[in-house]
Copies of this chain bind each other. A is one copy, B any other.
């Protein structure tokens, strides 16, 4: 494998040997290490000194089940710290098969609308003025037309071109739709600032991934598949209802943030639940289950049709439904699906954008629940990048600053997602302390707090939450290195044979002799350098805190506040 590099400042491309220290790394471990090694933490995230580092996971491109996740590393315009954003879709497997250990995009171009084409012959930059201002759906159509039906397209929509700080980078899925995304952290703005509109990946004729010990790999992979499919969450619930299964669960638990985190229960939540969604999808001829990349055996994605039975969106997720739903007091699933489609197309993170709207609803300009106004703002303001469109696209933190709103649910500039930290305290610890800003996927304590996976820790009490979050943050960093979907964690937490199978797969692929302890060491090492980077960027423990209102305001129905002491939070990164 090689490091592939493109410098947009001079349009130079290169393929470099992989330095020995990068050999055992993949995914997040590699993206964070390259950012740590090559980027000054004090740069402006939109300057040409920032980089985007794409890295497939260690197991990506193999037949390991659900191993098609890819990481992108950068300095985030939203958090101003180090960022690893993670996506499904087909990019990871394609890059791995082409022998791309990491793709480093650096510099910035004087001209915009560049397309980076990656295939078995290497990398080349092309220019395509016709892509200017296009949404991700049209970009994909145009590029497939030009470069072939089977290419993967990684692209930004207008939001990225406008350098909106909530901009995402879209990745096409198995149906060639731009419904997978490097959503969090605003990295679409970084790509836009560099003048890069899209990356086209064509794995035709690639040599594929080499396995040192094919038989051992097959055996471990088979074992691991069985474990995943045998777990009630990864083997059943996700396939049946998608991640939206969580709407009713969190609502029941009193932890579904409603009306910008005013209560933990949304009266009409069921109208937006996974059960309702699945029924609606079935009635209209969509797909209640769908795999975002080949070889995914969990199939948590879906294809959602509109009232006329026409395709509307795909990959409608719990966090998206929550962000535009309960958080904004909107209980109309068709509108939410439309907003999801809009975000995918224009290239905005659904979580950040939904929370942004909810904070905007705190101003005199908008009421909670006004779905028509959300639609109008998407159609008329964000699409054409008006000043209001720019504000909404700049994330909740900026909206708070611009309109003088102090009720802003963000940590390190990034919006808190769909689990109230007062009623799911373990995930509150993750929000506060993660190197990534508020991010449920960085240490998904919802497992033991709510789902009774990997043990049981009362979500309303502070006991045990720091240890829980720490363990999960370490494990997650490691999983994000493998290319495995984070949802394998449900099985890993409940079945002690799961982690050894993962290690066996890696060893069989690379001829290494890792053991399970090495996985934990790797996770810690990743967090350590990410944290060190953030410290150099100016972060202190004062940034490892939730907004004050989570301490001072009690959340109905359980009337709980976030009562973990600051010094307890500071123990999260003691390892």
Contact = CB atoms under 8 A, between A and B. Distances in A.
Contacts of A230: none
Interface in A28-46: 41-46
B548 A41 contact: no
A165 to B, nearest CB: 6
Contacts of A537: 542
A404 B44 contact: no
Interface stretch (A319-327, A383-391, A445-453, A523-531): A383-391
A46 B163 contact: no
Given A388-B387, A401-B165, A401-B394, A406 B47 contact: yes
Copies of this chain, tallied across the complex: 2
A394 B387 contact: no
A176 to B, nearest CB: 29
A543 B404 CA distance: 23
A402 B406 contact: no
Interface in A44-60: 44-47, 49
A388 B381 CA distance: 12
Interface of A: 41-47, 49, 77, 162-165, 189, 192-193, 365, 387-388, 390-391, 394, 398, 401-406, 408, 535-540, 542-543, 545, 547-548
B401 A547 contact: no
Nearest to A398: B401
Which of A46, A403, A547 has the most C-beta atoms of chain B within 10 angstroms of its own C-beta? Answer: A403
Nearest to A413: B401
Contacts of A542: 41-42, 536-538
A402 B402 contact: yes
Nearest to A385: B364
B43 A548 contact: yes
B548 A404 contact: no
B538 A406 contact: no
A13 to B, nearest CB: 25
Contact of A387 (B365, B404, B406, B545): B365
A362 to B, nearest CB: 11
A394 B403 CA distance: 8
Contact of A543 (B47, B365, B538): B538
Contacts of A192: 404
Contacts of A390: 391, 402-403
A569 to B, nearest CB: 12
Nearest to A365: B387
12 contacts: A46-B404, A47-B406, A164-B404, A165-B401, A165-B402, A365-B387, A387-B402, A390-B403, A394-B401, A398-B398, A402-B402, A538-B538
Given A41-B542, A538-B538, 20 more contacts: A42-B545, A44-B408, A47-B548, A49-B548, A77-B401, A162-B403, A162-B404, A163-B403, A193-B404, A193-B406, A365-B387, A394-B401, A398-B398, A398-B401, A398-B402, A535-B540, A536-B542, A537-B542, A539-B540, A540-B540
Nearest to A186: B404
A111 B165 CA distance: 35
A401 B402 CA distance: 10
Contacts of A545: 42
Nearest to A390: B402
Nearest to A408: B44
